[in-house]
Structures are given as structure tokens and as C-alpha cells.
Amino acid sequence: MTPADALRRIAFLLERAREPTYRVSAFRTAAHVVEGLSDAELERRIRTRTLTDLKGIGAKTATVVLQAHAGDEPDYLADLKAQHPPTALEGAAGELRNALRGDLHTHSEWSDGGSPIREMALAAIGIGHEYLALTDHSPRLTVANGLSAERLARQLDVVAELNAELAPFRILTGIECDINADGTLDQTDELLARVDVVVASVHSELRAPASQMTPRMLAAVENPHTDVLGHCTGRLLVERTQRGGKQQKPRPESEFDAEAVFRACVEHGTAVEINSRPERLDPPSRLLQLAADLGCEFAIDTDAHAPGQLDWQGAGCEKAAVAGITADRVINTRTADDLLTRSEG
């Protein structure tokens, strides 16, 4: 384990344990600094004990660097692992989690996530994923710094470079596309055709009556570009902080004809997302059971906005197991190539 890897792993575990952001950032910043040093410069800094002269390296992070460079597991990392062991999933939920090959709904600092694409990918590799779909927001969601067509096109080039570096791991290109009030998707058809994964989600006018919300969602589900229907009810179970510090209060479910929408998902091959974020856990159990009974396929996703959140899929697996959903009905148990073949079909 390199010093940078050790620092990133500590940041990941701190984030998973929901430690304060400043603590997570300290280790992530130190990883950036160390990774930017040549081998010779790192050796010199260690030999002359001048690591802490570097901006972004403090006493704790310097100790991690020294111990990892010596080939040892850093004490800080060992203590964290002992204090916050991963929760083992049992039975059907554990089998589902073991079958997952990737995550189809994640965000980076390009929109409202907190980390670079590369860090998200490295964290995904660290928990055993084969791929990660990068689905930053579409332009209409300005509060989340949604990507214009031009920015999304630039992101596709960045992802291509990272895929060459990180192979065989694969970053799938994608977008979380707003479903407009008329049911159209908030991005050009040309770009939607270029990306690997389109997650279509409602983010506005969430209190509209079912008479408006149902046809809106049906149009999006029927769109040939849509692969996944994201967090279908839009509910928020607890207050959360948005980009820029704005507080979002808990929010009830949107009203729509769930049976009609889920039947359309089956007909058009659109997977229903099981969103594993603790403030969402969407769909609610009764709607998830309905979707399962109607024959829907699913994507168990984290909607991660930071590397440590990529480990949240267990909650979605537990919900899926209770509903009797098996791995063959979860599209992200498939290989990346099989997923892309499914999308093209």
C-alpha cells in the first residue's frame, strides 16, 4: 500500500463512519500532496523529516506516510478498521451484495459531488467494483452545478483518459438527467446517445398532482435513452445539506400511478433504482414490492457524492432481499459489456 493509498483509505473509512468533513478532507488533501511528489522527493522529505513543511501535511498524516512507506499498515488505519468494522450482510442480502459488480449512480466534483472522478474510481476499485457509472447532474439542476452539453462533452474525454490509466476497471460515462415537466430529458439526444448510462430522475415540482406526475414519468421511462428510473418517489427521510450549505427539509413521496409507471418500466426495459442513500431509501418498501411483483428489473445504487458513500449499497441489498429480488433481476450484477449490450437493445 503506497502512502497515498493509505491516506485515501483512511479518508474513505472516516467518511463511511460519518466523521466530520474537515477530518476526511485532511487525509484526502494529504494524499493529493504526497501523490504529487516524485519518488526521490518523497525519499528526501522522509530522510530529512520535512514532510510537515509541505502545505497539507500535518503530524498525523506524516506518520501515516512514514509507516506506509516503510511497508507497514499505518496505526491510524489499523485503529479505524478496528473501531469501525464493516457490517457483514447475511443471507440473501449478503449474496446480492457479493454479486454486485458496480454502481450505476454516482457524482463527482464536476456537479455536486465532493471528489474528483479519479478518487471516486479508486474508491470503487478498493471495494471490489469492476465498474462505476459517473452520472453527474444535467444542466437544469443549477443548484447541483449541472453539466451543460459542452461540459459533459469535456467530461467524456476525461473519462476516456482515466479508463486508459485504470484498466481493466472501467468508468462508464453517464448522466443523471432531470425529467422535465413535459417528460422530456434535460440533455441533447446526441449526448444521451453517446453516454453509457442514463439515470432519469425528477428533481423539480415534486408536489405536483399524480395527474401531472404520472404522464411525466411515463414519458421518461418510455424514452429509448433512459436506462434507470432514479429515486422514483423523490422522498427525503431526514434533513440534509445541499451544495453551498443550503438545508433541505424532509420531504414526502411524490404522488404518481406507481403500477402504471412500473408496468412501463417492464415494457420498455427501464430498471427501477433502489437508491441506497440513508436519507432516501427509495422506493419505499410497499412500492418496491409492487415493482418486484410486476416483474421489474432493478439497479442497486448509492447515489454517492463522495468516495466513502460507495459502501452504502448494503442498505439497498437488504431492501431488495426483503422484497424477494434476486441477483438475476439486478442489472449491476452483470458485466460492463453485458450492461452496454442491454442499453443498446
Residue 224 C-alpha from the chain's centroid:
23
Q: What angle do CA 53, 56, 58 make, to 5 degrees?
A: 65
pLDDT at residue number 241: 63
The H or E element containing residue 231 is none
What's residue 245's pLDDT?
61
CB 132 within 8 A of CB 138: no
pLDDT tens track of the chain, all 345 residues? 899 989 988 988 888 777 887 888 899 899 989 989 999 999 999 999 999 999 999 999 999 999 999 999 999 999 998 988 877 788 999 999 999 999 999 999 999 998 999 999 999 998 999 999 999 999 998 888 899 999 999 999 999 999 999 999 999 999 999 999 999 999 999 999 999 999 999 999 999 999 999 999 999 999 999 999 999 999 999 776 665 566 777 899 999 999 999 999 999 999 999 999 989 999 999 999 999 999 999 999 999 998 989 989 999 999 999 999 999 999 999 999 999 987 776
Coil, helix or strand at residue 294: helix
Q: Can you point out the beta strands (E) in the chain?
A: 102-106, 131-134, 170-178, 197-201, 228-229, 240-241, 247-248, 271-275, 298-301
Say whether 190 sits in a helix, a strand or coil.
helix
In 3D space, the residue among 155, 157, 199 whose CA is nearest the CA of residue 175 turns out to be: 199
All three cell numbers of 107, joined, read 457524482
The predicted-structure confidence for 135-191, as pLDDT tens digits, reads as follows 999 999 888 889 999 999 999 999 999 999 999 999 999 999 999 999 999 999 999
Burial class (CB in 10 A: 0-12, 13-18, 19+), 20: exposed
- Structural domains present in the chain: 3-83 (no CATH), 91-340 (3.20.20.140)
pLDDT tens-digit readout, 1-26: 899 989 988 988 888 777 887 888 89
d(CA 345, CA 342) in angstroms, rounded, equals 5
Smallest Cα–Cα separation from 272: which of 315, 228, 224, 237?
228
138: Cβ contacts below 8 Å, ≥ 6 apart: 146, 147, 175, 176, 177, 178, 185, 186, 187
User: What is the per-residue DSSP string for 36-50?
Assistant: TS-HHHHHHHHHHT-
Distance CA(135)–CA(176), nearest Å, equals 5
pLDDT at 20: 82
Contact yes or no for 298/291 (Cβ under 8 A): yes
pTM of structure: 0.84
pLDDT attached to residue 16? 77
The grid coordinates of residue 200 equal 432519469
